[in-house]
């Protein structure tokens, strides 16, 4: 009897300059979370200069993961005339902002993390705050840059789901602690998206596409050791279930 193939999750790459050469790279923690906690086969989504390949990617992948990154989206992509704060990744901007609307139309499962959440919002016509303003209560949204790796990904603040959110089962808790490593945040929410969770200071932290089987964005990093956080583990497990359902369909 033939064994069903592992469901395939395409993971977006970053374009980085390393020693004067362009490299397309993926953080290993995303790859391992997809494999170990979603139970899927991760493959790299590579930017092709001058080519989209969206239809090919939709045919190839049962699900998609848009990762966090040190880079920011170019402000002109969401109508802001400011120069903004780099680094930027034009290759990733071009692929992500073309691919995301197609994923939503095709109802393919997708998980959007940190920069990925911001890409989801911009792809749907939303905007970003390039600097998070001071609010009350005061909440830190970026761990110290000089902290040890483990400390940078330690819980930093809490996120709470809105009342009666249908995502309560996905996270298995109405409120929970998360890590935080972002300097920018969502401003105007994109078309067809709903905010399902906020930090204590009102910054949007969880967004989902309306009527989609699984298109969820989070502003923190659930891929960092999901075994340490029941909500993060549950998120990847539910993502894997959605991707398997897409494969089987």
Which residues are catalytic, by number?
Answer: 114, 221, 223
Say if CB 206 and CB 161 are below 8 A apart: yes
* H or E stretch at 204: strand 204-209
**What's the rounded Cα separation, in Å, for the pair 223 and 67?**
9
The span from the CA of 131 to the CA of 151, in Å, is 23
Q: Alpha-carbon distance 204 to 191, whole Å?
A: 15
Q: Is 96 helix (H, G, I), strand (E, B) or coil?
A: helix
Contacts of 190-194 spanning 24+ positions with Cβ under 8 A: 190/120, 190/121, 190/122, 190/123, 190/124, 190/125, 190/126, 191/124, 191/125, 191/126, 192/104, 192/124, 193/120, 193/121, 193/124, 193/126
8 Å CB contact between 205 and 220 = yes
What's the rounded Cα separation, in Å, for the pair 30 and 228? 15
């Amino acid at each position: 009897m033939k064994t069903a193939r592992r469901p395939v999750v395409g993971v977006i790459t970053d374009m980085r300059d390393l020693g004067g050469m362009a490299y397309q790279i993926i953080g290993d923690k995303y790859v391992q979370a997809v494999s170990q906690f979603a139970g899927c086969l991760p493959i790299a989504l590579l930017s092709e200069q001058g080519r989209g390949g969206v239809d090919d990617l939709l045919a190839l992948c049962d699900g998609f993961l848009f990762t966090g990154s040190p880079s920011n989206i170019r402000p002109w992509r969401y109508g802001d005339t400011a120069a903004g704060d780099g680094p930027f990744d034009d290759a990733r901007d071009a692929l992500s902002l073309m691919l995301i609307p197609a994923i939503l139309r095709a109802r393919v499962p997708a998980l959007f993390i940190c920069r990925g959440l911001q890409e989801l919002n911009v792809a749907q016509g939303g905007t970003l705050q390039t600097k998070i303003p001071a609010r009350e209560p005061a909440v830190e949204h970026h761990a110290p840059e000089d902290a040890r790796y483990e400390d940078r990904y330690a819980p930093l603040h809490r996120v709470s789901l809105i009342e009666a959110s249908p995502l309560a089962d996905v996270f298995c808790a109405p409120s929970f602690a998360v890590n935080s490593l972002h300097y920018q945040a969502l401003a105007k929410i994109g078309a067809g998206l709903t905010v399902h969770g906020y930090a204590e200071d009102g910054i949007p932290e969880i967004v989902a596409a309306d009527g989609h089987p699984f298109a969820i964005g989070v502003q923190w990093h659930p891929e960092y050791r999901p075994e340490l956080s029941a909500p993060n583990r549950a998120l990847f497990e539910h993502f894997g279930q959605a991707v398997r359902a897409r494969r089987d369909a």
